Amino acid sequence: MKKYLVIGNPIEHSLSPLLHNYWIKKNNINAIYDKQKLNNEDLESVVTKIKNKKIDGVNITVPFKEKIISFCDKLSPEAEGTQSVNTISLENDKIVGYNTDIKGFKAAFENLKFNVKGKKIFILGAGGVVPSIVFSLNEMRVSEIIISNRTKDKAEKLNNFFKNISIIDWGELPNFDLIINATSVGLNDKDELDLDFSKIKNNKFFYDVIYNPRETKFLKNARKLGNETENGKKMFINQAAEAFKIWHGIQPEINEEVSKLLDQ
């Protein structure tokens, strides 16, 4: 039986096992997908298990998407361009790092009515997922990307990868067509960003990378102010589908049943 794993810290709330095990069963694959909470010093032993074929593939989540790179023998162009790896597999005895968040984000937006081409984008946060979002937005030919992070230094470091982004102070609200919450604020139902959107004109698009809870306070407030909103569920499903394809060579079906599976 093949063995797959998602690693991160924290990891309790990850729905990756639910989704992958559903597709594994649907496609009659003899495999199991589990989750494991790790610390930095455990990364090497996981990679060794992949090399020794005790584990067949790993998804990587916060906070290891960058740290795992030093253990990879080869990176996909997307992983190289973002210095972020969320999927690894063993190919010809080499540890290959992929970034499927990029395709996940792109696929999510291709399914939406909102066309990002030529639009002005404002991103909140500068954590692990932001390089992937910026990479996707650039591929989708947006006109401008502005980033604001509580810790400004971290946002400024993104300028090393992406020359076309501008950084503003936390608390400033520029004009935008689409705003993306890529901070972790909202994962906990009670938490709310200390930003006031009431003066922003309505008819904007508010996107939250968070999908659990289904509607963060960020999205709820935006909806009440008359804006379009969308959570990160489609991005999550599509990044998982891309990882599934890398490991099993099968494009898993994404339908209403899959979507409902994650509503809990």
Q: Which residues bind ligand ATR (CB under 6 A)?
A: 62-63, 125-129, 149-151, 154, 183-185
CB 225 within 8 A of CB 197: yes
Q: Helix H segments across 96-254?
A: 101-110, 130-139, 152-157, 217-224, 233-248
Choice between 32 and 187, CB closer to ligand ATR:
187
CA 131, CA 140: separation in Å to the nearest integer?
14
CB 97 within 8 A of CB 163: no
Rg (alpha carbons) of the chain, rounded to whole number? 18
DSSP state letter for 228: E
Q: In the annotation, is 65 catalytic?
A: yes
CB of 94 to ligand ATR, least distance (A): 27
> What does residue 18 show for φ and ψ, rounded to 5 degrees?
-60, -45
CB of 194 to ligand ATR, least distance (A): 7
CB of 60 to ligand ATR, least distance (A): 12
Helix axes 101-110, 130-139, angle to 10 degrees: 50
Choice between 62 and 168, CB closer to ligand ATR:
62
Instruction: Indicate the pairing of strand 94-98 with strand 74-75.
Output: parallel
Residue of closest CB approach to ligand ATR? 127
The two tokens of residue 38 are 């790790």
Choice between 236 and 247, CB closer to ligand ATR:
236
CB of 65 to ligand ATR, least distance (A): 8
Choice between 127 and 213, CB closer to ligand ATR:
127
CA 32, CA 88: separation in Å to the nearest integer?
16
CB 31 within 8 A of CB 4: yes
Catalytic residue (choose from 25, 37, 65, 106): 65
Give SS3 for 233: helix
CB of 132 to ligand ATR, least distance (A): 11
Choice between 55 and 86, CB closer to ligand ATR:
86
Catalytic sites, residue numbers: 65
